[in-house]
Amino acid sequence: MMDDLELLAELRSETPPMTAETDRRARARLLTAAEAERRGTPAHTRRGVLGRRRLLGIAVAGGLAAAAAAAVTVVNTGDRAGHVHPGSTLPATPVANVAELGDRAAHAAEAWSFTAPTPGQWIYIQTRSAPLADRAEPNGPVATHRRRTTAQWTRADGLRQATIEASGKLRIDKLLPADPRSDYAYLSGLPTDPDRLLATLRASADEPLGSRDLAVFSNIGVFMRDGLIPPKVQAAIFQVLPRLQGVQLVRQATDAAGRAGVAFAVVEEGYLRDELILDPKTYRYLGERSVVIKDHVSRGIDGELRSRKGEVVQWSAQTRIGVVDGPGKQP
């Protein structure tokens, strides 16, 4: 069962040294405060701390790809997790740019209340996604009119994972090494300072297509999709994203559950836009989408893959996340 959730109401202001970066943040906070006053709502004043994932990237190492679309009820609770609450919402004014999105999302994340799981507890994540279109190649388009729902459990200490097989049987396996890791033991140890976090993520990322920042963006997508991220780490991640080369703002994005959001996005190889979609009010993670923005032909040892403008090659929604006492249980 979900714990009672409380909003962290006491926020303090911080005044950073006046650099170009802090000047930009100050301007964003001023605009937010002015709009909040106009609407009569309290303003947050505290400073906020892919290569191609495509369809195959949705699988968790060692098991989720083999898990079937089990009949799990989709519940859009609006909660970040059984032990996390999105906190109060910021003014629903349009986001001006990707830097402001990072600031707003970081402020919101810092207000989330959170109870850390114990090492023996499990992180439950339910995902709704669009499967491959009939007769589509492995990295081809998905069937945007169809959905499947999967569930996964990962132990907080990163030692075990569980999935539901096609037969409906719960399967528990040793969590195999993954790159990047997305278990709570790893995510909770990431730096909460944005500068240190950016350096850490760049140092640990591969460099596909000559872009290390593209790999960092991809890895962050894995963290958000497959893991439970402590709020302070999540706030730092939100501040890192706008600093990555090529990251842009998408003001209107929709996840696979039909929820409207705003997104951080990058363009791969000039034709494929990857989106990390957030709720436009709470800034919690909703899902992701990869959409072809212009016709393209990829050539490799397996032949050609033709991608047509408008095709969606990855589309998912995180519909529930929470902490439970064992695999097979739901928050």
Phi-psi region for residue 223, left (φ > 0), alpha (ψ -120 to 50) or beta?
alpha
Asked whether residue 13 is domain-assigned, the answer is: no
Which amino acid is present at 257? A
CA 122 to chain centre: 19
pLDDT given at position 4:
35
pLDDT given at position 209:
55
Asked whether residue 72 is domain-assigned, the answer is: yes
- Reading the block at residue 22, the tokens are 């802090």
Report d(CA 179, CA 148) in Å as an integer: 25
Asked whether residue 253 is domain-assigned, the answer is: yes
Asked whether residue 251 is domain-assigned, the answer is: yes
List per-block mean pLDDT (blocks of 10 residues) for the chain, which spans 331 residues.
35 37 44 39 30 38 36 33 44 85 98 96 98 80 95 97 94 94 97 98 80 94 98 98 97 97 96 97 97 89 84 97 97 93
Asked whether residue 3 is domain-assigned, the answer is: no
Which amino acid is present at 247? V
> 254 vs 96, 144, 217, 251, 276, CA distance in Å?
19, 12, 19, 10, 10
Report d(CA 218, CA 63) in Å as an integer: 20
pLDDT given at position 92:
59
Report d(CA 243, CA 237) in Å as an integer: 10
Report d(CA 5, CA 86) in Å as an integer: 10
pLDDT given at position 21:
43
Asked whether residue 4 is domain-assigned, the answer is: no
Dihedral angle of Cα 67, 263, 114, 164, to the nearest 10 degrees:
-10
Can you give the residue range of the structural domain that contains 180? 20-324
Report d(CA 24, CA 17) in Å as an integer: 12
Asked whether residue 258 is domain-assigned, the answer is: yes
pLDDT given at position 14:
34
Token pair 């695999």 in the structure block, residue: 327
pLDDT given at position 208:
61
The count of structural domains within the chain is 1
> 53 vs 96, 142, 199, CA distance in Å?
28, 14, 22
CA 98 to chain centre: 16
